[in-house]
Amino acid sequence: MTELQAGEGAQAVGIARPRARPRRNRDVLIALIAFIVLAALPMIFSSKLLLDFVIRCAAYGLFATSLNLLVGYTGLISFGHGMFFGLGAYGFGLMMQKTGVPVPVAFVATLAITFVVAAVIGAICVRLKEIYFAFVTLAFQMLIHSTILSWVSLTGGDQGLRGGIPRPPFLGIDLSNHHHLYIAACALLVLGLLLMRQIAQSPFGYTLRMIRDNATRASFVGIDVWRAKLTIFVLAALFASTGGIIMALFVSGAYPEFAYWTISGEGIFINMLGGVTTFLGPMVGTVLLLILNDTVTRLTEYHGIVLGIVILFFAIGLRKGLMDFVVEWAAQRRGKAEERAP
């Protein structure tokens, strides 16, 4: 069990930390452009499918990228990250159904609940190392899933939150309008990615990489490893929860499947597909998986076989995620070009 860290992360560590400010400005600029492009999409294509697709990408993308903060950046392989996805969906849905508070209040309150739950669970989990961390997070996930199933009076048990999630308009935004929901999901996605990017590039982000590469060394340097791990665990949970909220808005409900371990498994799968060494790898993985899922289930009911073969191609053929492959390939090319240069 020595090779437990996700990806070697050679690139990320190898590059010396550049001047932070221009980089941040560049990130903000890219985020702005991305948002404008996404927001303009519905004007060019009138397809509702496209909007649905992007909303789902936002939900899964935030979830998967936040998981990568744990897996790729900190070396914490969580098999239970999906519990926060479910928690977000249920927290938000219940808040809207039972209390009727405005959407932003419910949003913030859901994040606050996630914060508390993640802090408690994280405090217990991050003490454990490697595969045991994976198992204990999985166990917590299943515990939460069982609780959702058993606590019928609150959660509706296996039938989930029924009757739709009410969403009164606020500040001129009406989330029951498909277009408004789309814009909101895009905004959350871009903002979430931007924030996570800042976390990853911050000194704290480099502390995490150090912990991943050698926790003992990190603690010698005076880093409180437990606290750093807990912090990123909670932060990642908040973004996963946001993904869950978007999903709850999309399906207008919350279902126990959202808190099942398969969601965590899908998150890991997305990360592997896209690659864990680049920041946008999980996002690429999300788009890939969703396209794959949507097209394959259309074509055959034996989608398991098709999906399985695609996975094998990545795992045995490429042996790495798509973005990892691309980055390595580009680096190799650059290397060769430099060699050839006189």
Partner 1 sequence: MKRTRTTGVSRRSTLALMGAGAATIAMPWVARAQAKTIKIGMPTILSGRVAQLGTSSRNAVMLEVEKVNAAGGLAGRQIEMVIRDSKGQPQEAARISRELVNTDGCELLIDAEASSGAFAVHEVARDLGVFCIHTNSETSSLTADPKQHIPNAFRTARQGVHDSIVGGSYAAGIAKAKGLKKWATCSPDYAYGRDTTGEFTLYLKRFAPDVEIISDSWPKLFQPDYTEVVTKILQAKPQALYSCLWGGDLTSYIDQANIYALFTQMEVFAVNMADYTALTVVKNLPKGIHSGNRYIKTYPGTPENAAWGDAYKAKYNEYPTNWSWENATAIMLIAEASKKANSADGKKIAEVLRGLTIKCPFGADGTVTMRGEDQTLIGYAIGWGTTIPQEPYVPEVKAGDWKTILELEAEWKKSKGYT
Partner 2 sequence: MDLDALAGCLASPACLVTQTTSGLIIGMLLFLVAVGLTLIFGVLKVVNFSHGAFYMFGAYFAMTAYQFTGSFALAMLCGAAGTAILGLIFERVFMSRVYGADVLMQLLVCYAFVLIFDDVVRMIWGPEFKSMGMPSAFQVPPLFIVGGVVPPYYLLLIGVALAAAVVLGLGLARSRIGKVIRAAAHNPGMVSALGINTGLIYGGVFALGGMLAGLAGALAAPVRSLTPGMGFSVLIESFIVTVIGGMGSILGALIGALLIGLIRSFGSLGFPLFTEGLMYLFMVIVLVSRPTGLFGKEVA
Q: Which amino acid is at 109?
A: A
Tokens linked to 306: 């098709």
How far is 246 from 281, CA to CA, in rounded Å? 21
Measured between its terminal Cα atoms, the distance across the chain in Å is: 45
Q: Is 177 in the site for partner 1 (CB under 8 A)?
A: no
Question: From partner 1, partner 2, none, which one binds at residue 255 (CB under 5 to 8 Å depending on kind)?
Answer: partner 1
Largest Cα–Cα distance in the chain?
Answer: 74
The DSSP result for 205-266, as a single string, is HHHHHHHHH-HHHHHHTT--HHHHHHHHHHHHHHHHHHHHHHHHHHHTS--GGGGSHHHHHH
Residue 297 lies near partner 2 (rule: CB under 8 A):
no
Cα–Cα distance, 206 to 202 (Å, whole number): 7
Q: Is 47 left (phi over 0), alpha (psi -120 to 50) or beta?
A: beta
For partner 2, the closer CB: 195 or 311: 311
State the nearest-atom distance from the C-beta of 51 to partner 2, in Å.
29
Q: State how far the Cα of 67 lies from the Cα of 262, in Å rounded to an integer.
A: 14
> Is residue 255 close enough to count as binding partner 2 by CB under 8 A?
no
- Residue 258 contacts which entry, partner 1, partner 2, none (Cβ below 5-8 A, type-dependent): partner 1
Q: Rule CB under 8 A: is residue 28 a binding residue for partner 2?
A: no
The span of 12-20, 162-170, 227-235, 271-279 binding partner 1 (CB under 8 A) equals 162-170
**Which partner in partner 2, partner 1, none is near 162 (CB below 5 to 8 A by kind)?**
partner 1
What backbone phi and psi angles, to 5 degrees, belong to 173? Answer: -100, 125
Is 154 near partner 2 (CB under 8 A)? Answer: no
Binding site for partner 2 (CB under 8 A): 1-7, 71, 77, 124, 127-132, 135-136, 138-140, 142-143, 146-147, 150, 265, 268-269, 271-272, 302-305, 307-309, 311-312, 314-316, 319-320
Q: Which residues bind partner 1 (CB under 8 A)?
A: 45, 47-50, 52-53, 56, 149-150, 152, 156-160, 162-164, 247, 250-253, 255-258, 291, 294-295, 297-298, 301-304, 333, 336
